[in-house]
Each structure stands twice: as C-alpha cells, then as structure tokens.
Structure 1
C-alpha cells in the first residue's frame, strides 16, 4: 500500500483505554526532567482520523487537499495519506515530502502564488501539473518553465462591507479575462478557479460573492475554449466542528446553485489547522525568572492582583523563533496551563511569558495570572498543531522539539472500521497497555 515511508524514523504509541494523553505527557515530562528539560510535543493522531471522518460526513462534495505548511511532521503526513486526502504544497521541500509518500502527482496542488522558476521546473519534473496563478507575470513564468501546467486562477474575495480586501494575492474578475487571453497566446491550460476566505471572515455574503464570481470565471472560460473542471474553495477552516457545519450550511446551497453535482466540476479545499491544531500539545520548561513591582495599570481581568505584589516575568525554552512563530503574525492566542499541582486557594500573580532569545519580539504571553513558578517548572499549551511544526528558524540555534505521536486503541479501531488502516500502517505502532505504569524505561522513540 502506498502512503507510508519504509524508513520512517518514528513510531506511534497505541494507548489502551486505561492510558490517557495526560499520562503520556506526565511520562515525557519525567523523562525530560532527567535528561535536559527540553520542550516537546505530544500529537494525538487519532484526532486527525476523527476530523477526517467528520469532514466526509459534513463536506460531502468537497475533497480535502491538506495544507502541508500547517504541519509537515511525518506522522501527520502519513496518516493523512492513508486517509486519502490530497495535498496542497507551497515549496519544493513540501512536494518532495509528499512524493516520498508515494502520493500520485494528481493529488498534489502547487499553491504558492509567488513561485521560484526552479521550483516550477521541479514540479514539472515530478509531474505536478496543477498550479495556482493570479498575475500575468506569474503566468508567463509558468509557461516558460512548465509545458504541461494546468492552472487554477486565484481570484480575490470580498470583506463584510462588500469592498475588495487589501490582499497580497488574488486577481479581479476584470483581470481574469486578460489572463485568459494571455494563456491562449502562451498555450497554457486553465482548468479551474481558486479563492480563499480567512478563518476570521466567515460571513455568508463573502462565500456568496466568491462562488458567484467563480461561476463568472467558468462562464468566461467557455468563451475562450478552456475546459474547466475544478473549483478550489481554499482553506481557513478552524478545528471547531461547529464551524465546519456552519461553513457547509453556507457553501452547500451555493454549490448546488452554481456548480451542481451533474456539472462534472470537482470541488476541493485546502484545510490545514482544521486537521492538526487541536491534535498537538506543547510542553515547555521555565528556564529563567524575574520579579518586579507592578508599575503600570493591569488589564481589567487581572485587577485582583494588588499593586504591592510582585509581577513575574518567566522565560521558557521555546518562543516565536520556534514553535510560537504564529504569534508574530497575530494568529496565535497562547494560553498556558501549569503542569504541577497547586492548591485552589494558592495566590495568583500577574505574569508574562517570553521565549529564550532575549529578543524584544519574543513575547509569548503579555499578561496572565499564574501561581508563582520556579525555574524547571513545566507549562503546557494546547492546540499547537498548526504553524508550530514547520521549518525552524536558525535564531540562537533553536531546534524543533521532539514529537511524540499517540493514538488511543478506540481511535485505532475506528480507523480500521473506516477502512483506513493496514498492516503497513501497523508497523509504526507499539502498544502501551493499561496494566503497566508508564516510566522512563517505556521508550517513546520518535524522531523530531
């Protein structure tokens, strides 16, 4: 069966019903406390299976092409390959990762709106023919470097007020006609349309305009003799199940109206954080600590802290140049959870969390209430699967924390029942029975 690397250097802990993800986190913290207190991830791959089954049940017409830049760790990619998703890649590195899984080039879209010529040539070499495009210069670049390219015209969407969003990418309806004229002259095939609605903007009107605009582009393509067969409704889906149902409630009738099933149009999307965000927990260690008197007004929710109490600044061993990179773009609301047990009536202090770089941008949490922590204490951050596990910055020689993959036995059975499991997949698992106490001797040998 395709979809699994023969030499993949990782394993998945298959947990009996008596073992919880919390047990695994506790065990890993114990091990890391003994060996260096490095930050680490625990990834529950069973959540990917649940999310995929939910997607199939809700977005019945829409095939997911997983956005690889969200999380490119091998366990995630191989599970999603087994589940049968396509893949949306933004670089040569990502395309190579997916090709190594044995995925058909027909199930890969090269989505980067600003592609290097060398990477376009690489896509042509490995047979990835489906590329997105939103400008004449990009179209000419593709024409020079990829003779078999099939393009999705990337159109801009509109905001709540009906005005065009100030976006880096996406072309106008008016310019689509010009791009089709250029494509005809350059003998480049246009086969579909792509748009993207951000997860911060899910108003029905936005999808209505985007899908109706896509229909206009399809009608325009007929005039030029292009055979269009794909509509890509982009990404922006959160990991909230209700959010997916709300989006489907908006999108489904619009698709039925503009692109009915008998039209032969394949509808795809590029979910990323929907699959992986809630599946990963990050554990970090407090490496330094400072205390000072409060010299500024605190947020309303922190007013219970008295002015004569200290305000603590904690430095942890991961930051915005590592797993919290999304913080720089404002797309991450990091909420820390203290791992050690403390009393309910224990006093809480105004606190801030910073990464290890000592850089002024490396702030993880500006204000929060925490019990007083000591150097060596652990903090947990849930929902860290999206944007935290891509390529790492070289700032201060930061390395990606190791990743420990787990899946509950019930999730494994559900995966089997859904027809996604195989003997090839099973070789990546080892069993953690409930009758034993997890200890440092129980290896979680998963490559970073």
Structure 2
C-alpha cells in the first residue's frame, strides 16, 4: 500500500537543516509524540470501520499494521544526541520495511546486512556499497561471491575457515574481526554462536597477514535486547586489546563496530552514556565507530490490529465463573513470532467492541469494577500458538471485534511464516507524526 500523505509542507527541508534544528531543540522532537496517538488511532479506526466480516472477501479482514515513521525519525535524533560518535548501520533483519529503509537512507544511515537478499534490497535503493557492512561472520559462498560482485567490501569474520573462504572469493575485502563478548544479560544471546575469544585473535590476525588480507576493523555484539550496560565497558576494553594486537601484525584498525543490543525504551540513555564513556577511554578519537541498531529504531514504531475470528466460552461450575478463549487472525507463527524467538510479551488492548472504537481508552479500576478474563490464541492448529494466557477486559468481546498491540516493529513481520497456509504478508498503513520525516520522504 502506498504511504498515506499528510498535508504537504512548503518549508524547504534538507537533512542537515532538519537534524541541526531538531537536535538543537533537545535531541528528541516531542511535537510529534502527541500527534502520533491521534494519527494512529485515526488510521486504525478508518481501516476497521470498512470491514464487515459477514460480507467481506477472504483476506480483507486480515491483521494489519500502522507504522509511524515519525517515531523512527525521533529515535534517530535521540541517537544523534546521545551517541554522536557512533554512525548507525541499521540491522535490516530486524524489520526490512521498505519505507523504514527509505527514511533511514534519507537520514544518512548505513546498513547491516546478513544475506544476499538484504544486500540486494539495500543496493536497489541506490545506496552506495560502502554504506553496507556484511555483518555475518559465517557467510554462504555464493552470497559472499555476490557481495563481492556488487562491491560490498566491509564484512566480519571470527574463524580460520572463514579467512580461507574470503581469500578465495573476496581477497580485497575490508575485514572486521568479531570478538566474543559477555552477553549473559541479553534477551537473545549471540556469543554462543559468534565471536572469537581473545586467546585466538592473534592466530587469526597472523593468518590474515599470511594470506594477504586486509583487517581494518574490530566488531562485537553484546546481544539483542541487552540489559546490562556494563557489557559495553568490557567489550570496548577487549576491542582496544585487539586494535593494539593488530598493529603488531601490521594492520591499521580504522573502525570499531559496537554492534546492536540497543532498545528504544528508557534504558537507552544510561546505556548510551556507558558506551560513550567507554569509547572515550578505550577507542582513540581517530578511529571511526559504527553500530548496528535494529529494534531501537522500529520496535515502538509499529502497531498491529487483529480481529477476533472465533470465541470459546469456558465455564467453571465450581467457582461460578465464566471466561473466554479468543482466537485471532494472527499468532506466533505470524507476526507474533517475537514471543517465541525474541522473548517479547505483547500487550493486548481493545480496539473495537461491537460498534464502539476503544483505541487509547485508559480506564481506572474504579471505572471497571467488573472485569472479564480472556486467553488469546492464534489461528493455526498448533497448541503452541498462544499469545496471552490471561488478560482482563471490561467488555464482552465476540467474533468480529478487534484487538491491537503496540510496540510490534521488531522481529515480527520479519520472521512471520506461512504455516498452515496463513499469509505472512500484511498491509502496512503509514502515518508520519514528524514534519521533518514527512519532508524527507515527500509525504
């Protein structure tokens, strides 16, 4: 679906003018935050009011997203304010939404790609290959060959066999030695799979020198959804160790890649403060620093709406209670894959009950003395397709009603499947709560 259009602005926006102006206002533009709720609510309401499950065609009542590109823009300004030294290279795997990628391109971001398809998607936007890092330590030979043909030279490695592979296929690559980090405080640990321990880095550097390869960077990743900012301190200290070690073998390290692990919640400021301080202490100022944020940019930018396709009444004669099982048209094999793969806990809220739109209705306990318990399930035949065990609403929900879930931009549609024949391609309605982002995109 084409992006929705806001009222065009006549002001002449350039990237430099927008960023300098908005950062000078405090680094996080807040004039769009209040507008965002209004725009999201309008988009949700407009869409669900057009759907009659008794007469619609198959697929017309499917789940759909509302994406606020203004939120992505605000996150970028927040990054620029707190981590000015670190150039973001967006982790495409997190959410390869084309409008998100287009906005980040306009904002001058680089990209972290892990496969041929991701590389092609970015380069087909007209992005220069120098803005792409092939941040996959264990690459498929054909993908590596394709990257070399496309001019993508920056790439990571962490083992001996990968060096031989690179020597054979892409000998002029600009290599980043990825080192092991302590990611025990992260939602998704990566060190069990990737990263060279410090007692092996000398051997790797020696072999790279012998093969005539060019090691130009050090990379690490403290884990996706990290919870311990102190992990950055040790990782930067280790990176400095490898920088000095590389010099012994004649390599001049000019870039450090601090990876991802950033979240967009209130922990970002203390996390970024620790990282900024660690970079100041351990990484010389002439060395370029890049990062690989993913969920940080998109996690809070997407809201999903799902319809109730079936309901089961559960009566407990002993307790004298009645609860309900609600079955939605999306689940853990679809856009709620983040429950299984990313340890997320999406929070359901009522969007439409009967003829009433309930978006952003906040109730106190005094307003809702009688609450009804629901469990929420996905549409497939698998018993694992379970979204929420127990949630309380004051409304009696039925088939044709709608729920919505906020903060559904990270590792959701990117990892959705077609299990049981259900679609993994859902409509995205774009809104933009920031005029700066609207101008950059021509909305």
Q: Report the TM-score, using the length of structure 2 for normalisation.
A: 0.84
Number of the residue aligned with 2:303: 281
Give the Cα separation in 1 of the matches to 2:412 and 2:5: 21
Matched, 1:293 2:293: no
Residue in 1 that maps onto 2:126: 102
Partner of 1:315: 327
Within the alignment, does 1:30 sit opposite 2:49 as a pair? yes
Partner Cα distance (1:272, 1:68) in 2: 7
Matches within 5 A, 1:21-420: 21-33=40-52, 35=56, 36-158=60-182, 167-198=192-223, 200-240=225-265, 242-261=266-285, 264-294=286-316, 307-340=319-352, 341=356, 344-345=367-368, 347-370=370-393, 371-390=395-414, 392-399=416-423, 400-408=425-433, 411-412=434-435, 414-415=436-437
> Residue 391 and residue 350 in structure 1: after superposition, are their counterparts in 2 closer, same or farther (change >3 A)?
closer
Quote the Cα distance in structure 2 between the aligned partners of 1:159 and 1:356: 35
Q: Structure 1 length as normaliser, TM-score?
A: 0.83
Alpha-carbon contact 1:158-1:165 (below 8 Å) kept: no
Deviation per CA, 1:123-144, whole angstroms, max 9, x where unpaired? 1010111111111122222222
Name the CA distance, whole Å, in 2 between partners of 1:37 and 1:89: 33
Please give the alpha-carbon distance, in whole angstroms, between the structure 1 residues aligned to 2:215 and 2:160.
13
**How far is 1:330 from its partner?**
4.6
Q: 1:294–1:125: structure 2 CA closer, same or farther, 3 Å change rule?
A: farther
CA distance change for structure 1 residues 61 and 40 in 2, over 3 Å: closer, same or farther? same
Cα pair 2:191 2:223 within 8 Å, conserved: no
SS in 2 for 1:173: coil
Matched residue of 1:192: which SS? strand
Deviations 1:185-217 (A, max 9, x none): 222211111111135544343222111100000
**Cα distance in structure 2, aligned partners of 1:385 and 1:205:** 26
Q: CA deviation at 1:314?
A: 1.1
Q: Distance in 2 between matches of 1:12 and 1:150?
A: 40
Distance 1:23 1:365, change over 3 A: same
**Aligned counterparts of 2:368 and 2:272: Cα–Cα separation in 1:** 45
Counterparts of 2:174 and 2:400 in 1: how far apart (Å)?
54
CA distance in 2, matches of 1:311, 1:330: 29
Deviations 1:237-291 (A, max 9, x none): 1112x32211122112221111132xx2111101111111111100000111112
- Change in Cα spacing, 1:390 to 1:329, as seen in structure 2 (3 Å) is closer
- CA offset at residue 13 of structure 1? 2.9
Secondary structure at the counterpart of residue 138 of structure 1: helix
Aligned match of 1:14: 6
Once the two structures are superposed, residues 71-115 of structure 1 have per-residue CA deviations (whole angstroms, 9 ceiling, x without a partner) of 111111101110110000111111111001111111101112331
Q: Which runs of 5+ in 2 are unaligned?
A: 9-34
CA distance in 2, matches of 1:253, 1:184: 32
In structure 2, what is the Cα distance between the partners aligned to 1:165 and 1:335? 26
Residue ranges of structure 1 left out of the alignment (5+ in a row): 1-8, 296-305, 430-448
SS at 2:343's partner residue? coil
Deviations 1:4-61 (A, max 9, x none): xxxxx62233269796221111001112346432110000101111111111111110
Compared CA separation, residues 345 and 251, structure 1 to 2 (3 A)? closer
Aligned length: 395
Partner secondary structure for residue 50 of structure 2: helix
* Contact preservation (8 Å) 2:309, 2:329: yes
Q: Do 1:323 and 1:388's aligned partners in 2 also have CA atoms closer than 8 Å?
A: yes
Matches of 1:202 and 1:266, distance apart in 2: 25
What is the DSSP-based 3-state SS (H/G/I as helix, E as strand, rest coil) of the residue aligned with 1:80? Answer: helix
Q: Secondary structure at the match of 1:315?
A: strand
Deviation, 1:156, is 1.2
The aligned counterpart of 2:19 is none
Whether the 8 Å contact between 2:337 and 2:416 is mirrored in structure 1 is: no
